[in-house]
Amino acid sequence: MISKTTIDNVFETARVEEVIGDFVQLKKSGSNFKGLSPFSDERTPSFMVSPVKQIWKDFSSGKGGNAVAFLMEHEHFTYPEAIKYLAKKYNIEIEETEQTDEQKELAGERESMYVVSEFARDWFHRTLLKTEQGKAIGLTYFKERGFTDETIAKFQLGYSPDQWEAFTSEALRKGYKLEFLEKTGLSIVKEEKQFDRFKGRVMFPIHSLSGRVLGFGGRILGNDKKAAKYLNSPESEIYHKSKVLYGIYYAKQAIAKEDNCYLVEGYTDVIQMYQLGIENVVSSSGTALTPEQIRLINRLTPNITVLFDGDAAGQRASLRGIDLILEQGMNVKVCSFPEGEDPDSFSRKHILTEVEDFLKENAKDFIQYKASLLVEEAAGDPIKKAGLVRDMVESISKIPDVIKREIYVQECARIMDINEAVLFNTLAQMRNAGKKEEARAQAKPNKGEMQVVQKDQKVEKIDRQFVLERKLIELLLLYGNRKVSFEDVIVNETEDGDLIEEPIVLDLDVYEKIYLDLQEDETEFANERFRVLYKKIIDALMQQQESFKIDQFINNVEPEEGALISDIILEEEKYSLHRWDSQEIYVKLKAHSIPQMVSQTILYLRRFYITRKIEELAESIKEQNESVRDVLVEIKDYQELNKLIAQRLNRVI
């Protein structure tokens, strides 16, 4: 187990905006940062990070918390894994106590698969550098590709010996379970036999955004025509090839810094360009580009430059990926290399400035690139030209932004020398057809399901008690240890039996005011989560008083409670995400003074309880459970009290 000293050190050092900034492109928004949600598909930012409070909130999914909570949600880390990741990021030495057998047993299946994958990475790398076969075959291949020792070490390249079970036998000897060797795809098990999936291949570890090993790509070096040139790990609990980009772990900071991502096809393309000095480069690893991969890039930058080989057939096949990028609302440019060249070979033959200049000079907007690539095929053939125009308009129709669509239609009309009105008409037809198809797909019931149409559905009522209890928690978190002057009253009864108020002024901490008033009313929170959190906050405020800080408090509660705190604290911040003021919609944020907000919330809560009590008493009359006269007197007393509270609310408001 990790020592408390280490955990405390991690929490004191880690900055939530820095941690999340490794995974999401954040932009300054007042005192906070905003970005696209990493948990849902969106084009308008709904993800908020507060450096002051050291918390984050994703309004699209409802998730939130501190830096550790983000890693647990995004990377599916366990709590210890998240602490270790942060310790490594901030160069904090980890102190651990001995784990019991029971604690070791509790390590989950996913973690076991990660551990096996990390062992495999180290073993393949060591085999490459330390064994005769590894050096003679694997290392020679990488050296011939021009990779330096530093690059080989950085990308953790390796070699799997050309033997049936060299890796599997060593892993079993080291105590790793065959179950997880099979589940990660590192070993193939058939009846009583097991053998290595990647035998005789140089190895490329595939990392997650946080640097964990998810799987491997292996390139065969022999002349076996029956074997695939490249072989990837199979789909598993930790590896989903449609959601992974090779090199993203090494490229993420450069992508955010350069505000552009170069997308290539193969592993060696990535490594060669990175070694040259162009670090903002990733690869789809030879698979067709997917929306999930595009969204992974979109977290870091809205700009993609697709780099194509000089092979014309490959370029046309890759054009399908451009439409996918456009659908995600991203900006895409395309650059193709000279005939017979690819990013790998071109980078080996040129120095950094030459490659950078080539990319700048030859990167074309997608519409220009598509026209230049296909116009030669349509030369002199009106039918082919018409097909080309439709193909270009089809791509434009994928763009969600209406202004961009109009600009691209104008550009297409200029390039193809065709009337804009014709193109706009064609575009409208395509988009309408797409909307109708989408509507039909959504309306079509799943097989075996019945569609139930509910008439006169009741609008869900607002739970006023929930809202008020939530507001008290917010006030405690934000202002609990702040001392203010409260204008209060004491309610006394006159000789005639009337209730009158006598004004007083109390200098109290906010938490004292809330605690004393709830105690006086003998009131407990109805919501279980609020009730537990309320007690923890009050205890912390009583102990720490002036030193109470949200970022420290959130580190000492359960992850679910941390998410709830983030949700409460950053609730009003979401209005700033939409920039409604730019549309002349002005949202009223916290404008009241602290005493007014506290007093008003408590009074509304009291009024809620009194109203509910009056309703209960009225119901008891119907059921004839009580003396009608006594109940009516009690109702009258509560109504008088309610009237006094209403008068006070008018003054507070």
* Residue 585 maps to a domain: no
* Residue 64 maps to a domain: yes
Domain limit, last residue, from 184, 206, 239 = 239
Among the residue ranges 325-329, 416-420, 568-572, 608-612, the one predicted with the least confidence is 568-572
261 and 385 in one domain?
A: yes
The set of long-range contacts for 482-488, using a CB threshold of 8 Å and a minimum separation of 24, is 482/509, 482/510, 482/594, 483/507, 483/508, 483/509, 483/510, 484/508, 484/510, 484/594, 484/595, 484/598, 485/595, 486/513, 486/595, 486/598, 486/599, 487/595, 487/599, 488/599
User: How sure is the predictor about 580, in pLDDT bands with cuts at 50, 70 and 90?
Assistant: very low
- Residue 152 pLDDT > 90: yes
* Residue 429 maps to a domain: yes
CB count within 10 Å of CB 350 equals 15
626 and 484 in one domain?
A: yes
- Residue 624 pLDDT > 70: no
390 and 339 in one domain?
A: yes
* Residue 567 maps to a domain: no
pLDDT of 278: 97
Query: Which residues does residue 55 pair with via DSSP β-bridges, in sequence order?
Result: 50
201 and 288 in one domain?
A: no
* Residue 129 maps to a domain: yes
124 and 29 in one domain?
A: no
* Residue 568 maps to a domain: no
Q: Residues 4-14: what's their mean pLDDT?
A: 85
> Cα(89)–Cα(23) distance, rounded to whole angstroms?
13
- Residue 420 pLDDT > 60: yes
41 and 142 in one domain?
A: no
pLDDT of 453: 44
Cα 591–592–595 angle (5° rounding)?
155
Reported as half-sphere exposure (CB side, CA atoms, 13 A), residue 19 has a value of 30
List, for residues 105-119, the tens digit of each pLDDT value. 545 788 889 999 999
pLDDT of 376: 67
User: How sure is the predictor about 312, in pLDDT bands with cuts at 50, 70 and 90?
Assistant: low
94 and 34 in one domain?
A: yes
Highest-pLDDT range among 48-62, 138-152, 209-223, 395-409: 138-152
Structure tokens at 518: 């709830």
User: How sure is the predictor about 159, in pLDDT bands with cuts at 50, 70 and 90?
Assistant: very high
Counting DSSP H helices and E strands in the chain, the numbers are 29, 18
216 and 120 in one domain?
A: yes
Q: What is the dihedral of CA 93, 97, 98, 100, to 10 degrees?
A: -130
434 and 326 in one domain?
A: yes
622 and 489 in one domain?
A: yes
Domain limit, last residue, from 82, 103, 124 = 103
91 and 156 in one domain?
A: no
- The widest CA-to-CA distance across the chain, in whole angstroms, is 108
pLDDT of 572: 62
* Residue 376 maps to a domain: yes
608 and 475 in one domain?
A: yes
> Cα(530)–Cα(547) distance, rounded to whole angstroms?
23
The set of long-range contacts for 523-531, using a CB threshold of 8 Å and a minimum separation of 24, is 523/605, 523/609, 525/469, 526/465, 526/466, 526/469, 527/465, 527/466, 527/469, 527/470, 529/560, 529/561, 529/564, 530/469, 530/470, 530/473
Calculate the average pLDDT of the chain.
82
Cα-to-chain-centroid distance, residue 180: 28
> Cα(168)–Cα(193) distance, rounded to whole angstroms?
11
Query: Which residues does residue 193 pair with via DSSP β-bridges, in sequence order?
Result: 190
> How many domains are there within the chain?
4
Question: Which structural domain, as residue segments, surrounds residue 474?
Answer: 464-548+592-652
pLDDT of 305: 95
The percentage of residues in the chain with a pLDDT greater than 70, rounded to a whole number, is: 83
In CATH, what number is assigned to the domain containing residue 379?
3.40.1360.10
In CATH, what number is assigned to the domain containing residue 61?
3.90.580.10
Domain limit, last residue, from 406, 439, 472 = 439
In CATH, what number is assigned to the domain containing residue 180?
3.90.980.10
* Residue 453 maps to a domain: no
> Cα(84)–Cα(98) distance, rounded to whole angstroms?
16
